Structure 1
Amino acid sequence: MDTDLVRSRPVLLAVPAVLTLGVAVVVLLAVHSSGSDGPAGAAATGFDRSAWPGPDSTGVPAGTELTPYTGPCVITEPGTEIDAKEVACDLVVRAPGVHITNSTTRRIEIGDPPASVVVEDTSIDAGAWVGGAVAFGSMTLRRVDVRGGQHSVQCSGTCVVEDSWLHAQSLPPDEPRHLNAFISNGGSDMVLRHNALSCDRRANAVDGGCTADLSLFGDFGPVTDVTVEDNLFLAGRGGYCGSFGDNPEKKYGEASTGIVVVDNVFERGPTGTCGTYGAATSFRSDGEGNRWADNTWDDGSVLTP
């Protein structure tokens, strides 16, 4: 795992495999050929992002004393509680009502229903994992610092992500991975509210790099009933900062409905357009229940898709 990125809130004690779904993504362009990894536009714009989650407001609260986790890595007991623990293995959740708080952990995978998990005030580091640092459905994340993995969050449905920081994905120099802070390849009932979304890895020499901060793709099923509200889309290294579900070339790409994108802020960054080509793409304004309202650039000007 790279060490040149800002760590989450300090703690007193700090110290992967199930197959994941394939990902169909848009073509990437290698940009920003000099400088180090990290939020692409922070230095260029001087934008004050303190109103959104970051290292001081996500992850393990300062002063928390962690002790080693000695429980199972595959969780089958309903209602399992993990609090103030340092988890040194990948967690596979196969039970309902699992609650993880004030802890550090590697990646988290949620199995088929009724498995579910709530993660709060926790730091997740998936390292070089191929797939989502948190995947797939029936998850709630609050005040979570998510780093590592090909995607920060990979959602197949019934996902709530609030007040969290998704960033610092993993891109080995010899792998053509396509990265996202949040991605769904089909599913429904998703809420992203008041997060900082960043795909901040520089493209490598084998066509690996960022797709977007947020990508909704109808690969394996329709993308429906998604609310994206009051998030900060940090200037990225992909084609666009957000791709919002209308992808006619995909099997279910014309079935995106109930896509609500409101009150978000898009950082302009070095390109002036958040991504290489623009801030937002693939939003179908005439789709049933789709709504785009009150989204702005970081200078306050109105942003239209």
Structure 2
Amino acid sequence: MTSSTSPWRTPAPNQVDRPRTPVSEVAARRTTIVLALALLLGLVAALSPWSSTSAEARSTVLGNITPATASFSDGDSVTVGMKFRATATGSVTGVKFYKGSQNTGRHVGALYSSRGQLLARATFTSESGSGWQSVVFDDPVDVRRGGSYTVATFMPEGHYAVTSPYAWPDAGVAVLGLAGTYNYGSDLEFPSSSYGRSNYFVDVIFQASDSTGGSGPTTPAPTTPAPTTPAPTTPAPTTPAPTTPAPTTPSSGFPSEATTGVPAGTALSAYTGPSTITKDGTVIDAKKITTCLVIKADDVTIKNSLLQSGGCFFNVLSDEGNTGLTLTDVEIDGQGNNGSDSAVNGGGYTCLRCDVHGTVDGFKAQTNVVIRDSYIHDLATGNDAHNDGIQTLGTTNLKILHNKIVIAGSATSAIILSTNAADQIRNVQIDGNLLGGGAYTVYGGYDGPAVAGKVSNISITNNRFTTVIFPRSGAFGPITTADAPVVVTGNTWYDGPNAGGSVS
């Protein structure tokens, strides 16, 4: 949590003069081994499956995941927080933080505007000894869609939870986490500094407004509209501004056509905007898109929309170094084009509740990609197609969480980490998915000493493997190339004669 611009601090008597920061150089060296072990081993527990049963979890960024280090001791009181962007209009009702057993004292939570104006504060009461703690503001604070805010918690004894590095941005249903933040002081202060890609496990509690397509508990469950043959349109600039219902997160089970894609009742109009997006913050809402999209801007949002084209090599391409692309409640129908490559290719994107089918590959994932609560199925075959549900040829941050990926028998894999073709594959979490099909269903990224230097922090945990395609999930088995240092634990059979038993 050090910063190159941190101010100099007066040292304690046993310290030499040097910059004091929330993770000092000495502290960082002292915890390097702890953090490394936590990332390689502890994240198995830390990155638990995305919960779809809790209303609160649906309205936060971090859900119920846990940090690599629960109670780091920094020595000075500090306010830590999370900068986030609201992706729906609604209200912030409170704040959460993760508490380690050594994190004592009176904790105060707060919400700030992007300029540091205090919008709400509340003192945590009736805390447990450890784990997630929540407090509700006396009055909810209305926030606007697209606005940036910071939630914060004051840590009086200088203890806080941390995972570093963390794969920001991280998308909740109606909020997008952007960065961990901090500021030193003897009382609650606006945390405006950041260190690397640290996450200090402070989270927002958000309630989207029903009128803005939020994720309230009374919204209808989605269904996927039947595909229709698109009529050609000539791209022309447009400013979409529809209001559409949003789906509820499924209360149980895994994603399906009923819980992914365009929500029920959404009226789609033809997309006539540009095929190459160059304006930051562009929003495409409730559109039927029959062109291939190239993203060359930051913070682009595509939601409640059908992308349907059989003529695209990539239906969505995001490989220009842009960040913050979010696809939410989107169906991508490649119409069985076996000359295509993938539905989405590139980095810096999040796909939430996406229904992907009819392309050769589902996703090509580079760095800073999150694929969550999505359904990948019925990929295009023929012409010696080499099908993968999700494929990476190199990444330093990739999350594949609570998806259903079932690939036909001729496909290669549901998920493949192609280490031999990559410079490096690091910080990959494959957690809580339903997986099936392929030669091996999951290629885990480690296949011997020759690639050892390319691989770190890969975990394949708590997944369910189905026998619907082959008796052993894949034609040859469920998992391969997943020896240490890849962490493989908690995976079980979803069905078949060994249902509920461990997958090995």
Report the equivalent of 2:375. 165
- Moved beyond 4 Å, runs of 4+: 11-15, 251-254
Tell me: CA distance 1:71–1:275, structure 2 relative to 1, closer, same or farther (3 Å).
same
Report the equivalent of 1:283. 482
CA contact (8 A) 2:277 2:293 kept: yes
Report the equivalent of 2:225. 10
**Mean alpha-carbon deviation: is it higher for 107-116 or for 291-300?**
107-116
Identity of aligned residues (%): 27
Q: Distance in 2 between matches of 1:179 and 1:224?
A: 23
- The answer to whether the aligner puts 1:261 opposite 2:474 as a matched pair is no
Q: Distance in 2 between matches of 1:115 and 1:105?
A: 20
**Structure-2-length-normalised TM-score:** 0.47
Q: Which runs of 5+ in 2 are unaligned?
A: 1-222, 231-251, 309-314
Q: Give the letter aligned to residue 211 of structure 1.
A: T
1:185-224 to structure 2, matched below 5 A, reads 185-200=393-408, 202=409, 209-218=410-419, 219-224=421-426
Q: CA deviation at 1:98?
A: 0.4
Report the equivalent of 2:301. 99
Q: Give the letter aligned to residue 217 of structure 1.
A: S
SS in 1 for 2:367: strand
Q: Distance in 2 between matches of 1:93 and 1:122?
A: 16
* Structure having the higher Rg: 2
Q: Distance in 2 between matches of 1:73 and 1:253?
A: 41
Q: CA deviation at 1:110?
A: 0.4
Q: CA deviation at 1:253?
A: 6.8
CA contact (8 A) 2:447 2:483 kept: no
Q: Give the letter aligned to residue 328 of structure 2.
A: E
CA contact (8 A) 2:323 2:349 kept: no
SS in 1 for 2:347: strand
Report the equivalent of 1:142. 352
Q: Distance in 2 between matches of 1:262 and 1:270?
A: 21
Q: CA deviation at 1:102?
A: 0.2
CA contact (8 A) 1:120 1:143 kept: yes
Of Structure 1 and Structure 2, the greater helix share is in: 2
Q: Give the letter aligned to residue 416 of structure 2.
A: S
Q: Distance in 2 between matches of 1:275 and 1:291?
A: 20
Q: Give the letter aligned to residue 344 of structure 2.
A: V
SS in 2 for 1:187: coil
* 1:176-227 deviation line (CA, Å, top 9, x unaligned): 1210001101112000111001212x5xxxxxx3111110011032111100
SS in 2 for 1:122: strand
Report the equivalent of 1:37. none
Report the equivalent of 1:295. 491
- Name which of 154, 169, 182 aligns with 2:364: 154
Q: Distance in 1 between matches of 2:354 and 2:464?
A: 20
Q: Distance in 1 between matches of 2:474 and 2:255?
A: 21
Q: Give the letter aligned to residue 296 of structure 1.
A: T
* 1:133-162 deviation line (CA, Å, top 9, x unaligned): 111111100011011222100111211000
- The answer to whether the aligner puts 1:124 opposite 2:332 as a matched pair is yes
The two structures, once aligned, show a CA RMSD in angstroms of 2.1
Q: CA deviation at 1:255?
A: 2.4
Tell me: CA distance 1:176–1:75, structure 2 relative to 1, closer, same or farther (3 Å).
same
- The answer to whether the aligner puts 1:241 opposite 2:441 as a matched pair is yes
SS in 2 for 1:102: strand
Q: Distance in 2 between matches of 1:166 and 1:263?
A: 19
Report the equivalent of 2:287. 85
CA contact (8 A) 2:284 2:302 kept: yes
CA contact (8 A) 1:123 1:145 kept: yes
Q: Give the letter aligned to residue 72 of structure 1.
A: P
Q: CA deviation at 1:272?
A: 2.1
Q: Give the letter aligned to residue 441 of structure 2.
A: C
SS in 2 for 1:103: strand
Q: Give the letter aligned to residue 133 of structure 1.
A: A
* 1:234-289 deviation line (CA, Å, top 9, x unaligned): 2x1x221111101349x75762211111111001236421011111001022x1xx
Q: Give the letter aligned to residue 105 of structure 1.
A: L
Q: How many residues align?
A: 248
Q: Give the letter aligned to residue 241 of structure 1.
A: T
Report the equivalent of 2:148. none
Q: CA deviation at 1:10?
A: 2.3
Q: Distance in 2 between matches of 1:130 and 1:254?
A: 33
Q: Give the letter aligned to residue 279 of structure 1.
A: P
**Mean alpha-carbon deviation: is it higher for 267-276 or for 115-124?**
267-276
